[in-house]
Structure 1
Amino acid sequence: MSVAALLTRSWRRVSGCWAPGAGIRRLSSIADPEIKVCVLGSGPAGFYTAQHLLKHHKSTVVDIYEKLPIPFGLVRFGVAPDHPEVKNVINVFTQTAHLSRCSFYGNVTVGKDVSIEELKQAYHVLVLSYGAETNRILGIPGENLPGVYSGRAFVGWYNGLPENRNLNPDLSSETAVIVGHGNVALDLARILLSPIDLLKKTDITANSLEAIENSKVKRVIIVGRRGPLQVAFTIKELREMIKLPGTRSLLDPNDFEGLRHVVKDLPRPRKRLMELLIKTALESNAGKEAEFQAAATKEWSLRFQRSPLEIIPSNDGERVGGIRLSVTKLKGSAESAVAIQTEDVEDLECGLVLSSIGYKSHPIDPSVPFDQQQGVIPNKLGRVLHAPGMYCSGWVKRGPAGVIATTMNDSFETAESVLEDVQSGILDVSALKGGYKVIEALLKQRGICPVSFSGWEKIDSSEVTKGEKVGKPREKLLTVKEMLEVANQ
C-alpha cells in the first residue's frame, strides 16, 4: 500500500504502534480554542506530525519552520537520486502544506534568527523535528586526510545540499572503501558504480553527475565490524547492488559457512536477506549469473568483522593511500552480537574512503533537555521530559534509524501525545497566543525574510523546467542565494 493510501485511512494504536482501523479517538468535533503549534523541521517527521494534528483537531493551527528555503529534509537531500518512488511522499506533504491551517516558513534558523524561548511565548506547543544534521566520526588517525569523506557529506553533494555543493571529492582512484553496512553505505556504492546513462535520468546534481562520469572508481569494498547476520541494510538495497548493470558481486563463500542452519529460525525479513546473501556468495559462478559476472567491468564486495584503526596516508603523505582494519571477533549471537577487536590487522589499499557509520542529532538550545550520549532528546512517547508544552518526533526523538514509514508511525505517536494532553488538560491551551504574527515581527526587526510554501513552489517549478531541458526530473538549485532569488520573484 502506498504512503498516500496509508494516510487516507483511520488509525488506532496497538501495542505502541499505529494500525489501520476505525477506533481512533477524534478530537476534531470538540469546540476547543485555537491551538498554535510550532513544528521545527520540515522533513518527514515534521510533516507527519503536522498532518496528524491537523486531521484530528480542527482548532489546531500549525506553523512549520525550516532553516533552508526549501522543505522536505532527507526526502530531498537523503534519498538516493535513483529512488524517485521514495520521493513520491512529497505529494502527501504538499497536500498538508496547502491546508489553510498549515503554513511553511523557510529560511529561518531557530537559535539564530529566533530563539526557543521566543517560540515558547508565541505558541502553545513546540514540536522538535529537526532530525540528525551531523555525522558520526570514526575517531581514528588520518580521518582528516584528503580523500576521506563522511557518507552524509557525499550524499549531500550528489543530492544538492547547499553546504556540500563544493565537496569536490577526488574520484581518481580505482578502489574505494566504504565503512558501514547500512542502506546508506549501499547507496554510496551504487551511485559510485552505476552506469552513467542511468544516473543521467535522475535528479542527481549536474556537477556530481559530471564528476561520476569521469570517475576512475571501479572497485568498492564495503566494510563492517560485525558479520553477515548483523548487517543493517535491507533486501531491496542488496538486490539493487546484485543486479547493478556492468558490476559483479564478490562475496566470500567462507563468510557464510554454517549459516544455512541458522537462517531458518530468523524473522522473515532477515531470513530473506540472508538467503539472498548466501545464494549470491555460493552461486555467482553458475549459469547466466556467471556470464553476467564475466562481462562486468566493475565490482563490489562486503568485508565482514573488520573495524577501522587508522587511515594510511599515501607515499607523499598528501592524501589517503589505504585503511588499516582490525579483525574482530563476535561476542553474543544474532543481531545483538558485539564486535571485539583482536590483535590481527589487515591493510586495504585505496584512494577514497567514505565513512557511513550513522548520523547524529545535536542540542538545539540549552533550555531543551538533550542526552549527549544517546544523541536524542529525552522523551516519553514524544513528550520532552521536564519541559511542558514541548514535544519531539523523528530521529531527534528515537535516534537515526528506520525508514520513512518508521518515521510516520513515530510522528503519529507524538501527535497523539499532544492530543491526549490537550484533552486531559495537562496541556494548558486557554491562553491566547500570537503564533506567527509575533515571530514575523521579530524576524522583520532582524532582517530575516522567510520563504513561504508558494515561494518553494516557485523554486520547484524553476528546477523542473531546467531539468526538462536536459532530460532530468529536475536540476536542483545549489545555493541559498539562488533559491531566495527565485522564491522572491
Structure 2
Amino acid sequence: MRHFAVVGSGPAGFYTAEALAKAYGEHARIDILDRYPVPYGLIRFGVAPDHQSLKAVAKRYDKVAEGETVGFIGNVSLGSDVAVDELLEQYDAVILATGAPNDRKLGIPGEDLPGVIGSAAFVGWYNGHPDFADLDPPLGGTHAAVIGNGNVALDCARILAKTPAEFAGSDIVGHAFHALGNAAIRTITVLGRRGPHQIAMTPKELGELGHLEAAVPLVELADFPPRDADDALEPGQRKSVTILREFADIRANKSKAMVFDFFARPVAIEGDGRAERVIVERTELDEQGGARGTGETYEVPATLAISSIGYSTPPIAGVPYDERGGKFLNDHGRIAERLYAVGWARRGPTGTIGTNRPDGYEVAEQVAVAMPPGSDGGRGGGEGLRRLLEARGVTPTNFADWRKIEAAEEGAARTGSPREKMVRVEDWLTTLGR
C-alpha cells in the first residue's frame, strides 16, 4: 500500500488526487489536506460569485473525494500544525498544491495607503474568505481604479459595476452584497500598461460587460492599431480585441462607466492619509512589445485602488523557492525526492482551472514511475498523521463534515442564492459541534 498527501484542495489538488487514484486503484490511499474545513480552494474563494457555471466543476471533485481511496483532511495548516518533513515521514510522496494566494506588490510610492487593496484581498472579501472578511473596502467615493488587464481585474471591475439585482443566482456573501449595493462608485477606470492587443482578458468575460444593467464600458479607438493588425492575433485574443472595438461604438446613457485606459502605467498613489488618486505615466510599446514610459503623466481619481498584477505562492520552510517566479523551484513538478508541486505552486499564476488537470496527471505519472502500483512504502499515511495531530491538540475534519457545513450554508441562503457562505473558521467548527 502506498500513501500520498496532496496539500491543497483546489483544482490542482483534486486533479492530482484523481490521477493518483486512477493510477493506483486499491493499492494507494490519497489524503487531500487543507487549512480550512471547507474544500475547493480557488473554486470557492477565487471564482467570481456570478460565474456559477465555473463553480460547477466542484461536482467532479465531489466524486473524487467520495471515492474509497481518497480522503479529505481539513482544518490542518501546513507549517503551524504539521511540517513538510513530518508529512514525508508519514507519506510516500507529498504533492504541494497550495496555489498562489498572495498579491504581488506594485512597487510604487503610496501603495500602502488605506484604500489600496490587492485583488486577492478584494476577491476574498466578496467571496467569503476568512482572511478578508473584515476588509471593509472604501466604497463611499465615486471613483475607483483597477490596475491590471487580466480576467481577475475584469472580475473586480464587473463586481463593482453590478446592481444588486444582477447578483441574483450568485453566491456573493451577504456583507459584500449589502456593501456593494450601497456603494457610491460611478466611474471604474481599468488601467493597463500596454495596449488592447496585449490584454489577458478572455472573450466570455469581456462580452459580459456589454450587458451590464447600469454600467457602460468605454474604449477609445485611438488606442488600437489598424484593424488589419488583428489578423496576426491568436483566435481567442482576436475575438477579445473585436469585442473591445465594439465597445468603442457604444453610446449608452447609463449611471456608471467602466473606462478602459490603455498605455497607462501607475507610478504613484497619492492622497491625504488615504488613496485619492493614481498618478499614471503614459506609455508606448517598445521593440519587444513591452511598455516604456513617455514622460507624460496625469491623474486618475480613485478613493479605491485595486491592484491586480499577479500572485505568488507563499514560501514554505525547507522547500526550495523561486523568488522571481513566486513559486517552488521544481523540475517538471519534482522539487526533491518524494516531494512535488502542481498547479500555480509549480507553474506560477498562469492558465485556467482546466490547465491544472494535465499538470496533476503529469506529476501523478512521475510518482507512479518512482513508486509502481503494488509496491509498499510501509508508512502510516492518514492514520499516522491523525495520531500526530491528536497529540498536538489539532482536530481535523473530513468530507462528511464538509457536507454538514454545505447543508447549513444552503439552508441559510437568501432568496435566489445557492448558499450563504460562512466566513469564520469558528462558525464552521460550531456547525460541526466543536
TM class, shorter-chain normalised?
over 0.9
SS of corresponding position for 1:380: coil
Are the equivalent residues in 2 in contact too, given 1:219–1:299 (CA < 8 A)? yes
1:410 aligns with 2:378: no
SS of corresponding position for 2:3: strand
- Count of residues in Structure 1 that have an aligned counterpart in Structure 2: 433
Cα distance in structure 2, aligned partners of 1:57 and 1:430: 12
Partner amino acid, structure 2, of 1:297: S
Cα distance in structure 1, aligned partners of 2:83 and 2:313: 18
User: Which residue of structure 2 lines up, in the alignment, with residue 433 of structure 1?
Assistant: 379
User: Which residue of structure 1 lines up, in the alignment, with residue 48 of structure 2?
Assistant: 80
Are the equivalent residues in 2 in contact too, given 1:65–1:108 (CA < 8 A)? yes
SS of corresponding position for 2:292: strand
1:364 aligns with 2:332: no
Are the equivalent residues in 2 in contact too, given 1:171–1:212 (CA < 8 A)? yes
Cα distance in structure 2, aligned partners of 1:241 and 1:318: 33
SS of corresponding position for 1:198: helix
User: Which residue of structure 2 lines up, in the alignment, with residue 111 of structure 1?
Assistant: 79
1:444 aligns with 2:390: yes
SS of corresponding position for 2:232: coil
My pick for the range that moved more, 237-246 or 76-85, is 237-246
Cα distance in structure 1, aligned partners of 2:294 and 2:75: 49
Cα distance in structure 2, aligned partners of 1:44 and 1:178: 26
* Partner residue of 2:138 out of 159, 166, 170: 170
5+ unaligned residues in a row in structure 2: which ranges? none
User: Which residue of structure 2 lines up, in the alignment, with residue 15 of structure 1?
Assistant: none
User: Which residue of structure 2 lines up, in the alignment, with residue 270 of structure 1?
Assistant: 237
Runs of 4+ in 1 over 6 A off after TM superposition: none
User: Which residue of structure 1 lines up, in the alignment, with residue 179 of structure 2?
Assistant: 211
Match runs of 1:456-475 below 5 Å:
456-467=402-413, 469-475=414-420
My pick for the range that moved more, 76-85 or 372-381, is 372-381
Cα distance in structure 2, aligned partners of 1:444 and 1:430: 26
SS of corresponding position for 2:321: coil
1:37 aligns with 2:7: no
Q: Which has the higher contact order (CA 8 A, sep 6+)?
A: 2
Match runs of 1:8-407 below 5 Å:
34-58=1-25, 59-258=27-226, 260-281=227-248, 283-284=249-250, 290=251, 293-294=252-253, 296-313=254-271, 317-332=272-287, 337-366=289-318, 368-384=319-335, 387-407=336-356
Q: CA deviation at 1:488?
A: 3.6
Q: CA deviation at 1:473?
A: 0.7
CA deviations 1:416-473 (Å, max 9, x no partner) are: 22223234x9xx9543001111111111111100011111111000000000x53311
TM-score (norm 2): 0.97
Q: CA deviation at 1:213?
A: 0.7
SS of corresponding position for 1:320: coil
Are the equivalent residues in 1 in contact too, given 2:2–2:377 (CA < 8 A)? no
Q: CA deviation at 1:378?
A: 2.0
Partner amino acid, structure 1, of 2:154: L
Partner amino acid, structure 2, of 1:404: I
5+ unaligned residues in a row in structure 1: which ranges? 1-33, 285-289
Query: Identity across aligned pairs (percent)?
Result: 37
Choose 1 or 2 for highest CA Rg: 1
Tell me the C-alpha RMSD between the 2 structures.
1.5
Partner amino acid, structure 2, of 1:311: I
Are the equivalent residues in 1 in contact too, given 2:118–2:306 (CA < 8 A)? yes
Cα distance in structure 2, aligned partners of 1:449 and 1:198: 40
SS of corresponding position for 1:141: coil
CA deviations 1:157-203 (Å, max 9, x no partner) are: 00000010000111011111100000011101111111211214321
Q: CA deviation at 1:380?
A: 2.4
SS of corresponding position for 2:71: strand
SS of corresponding position for 1:110: coil
Are the equivalent residues in 2 in contact too, given 1:186–1:241 (CA < 8 A)? no
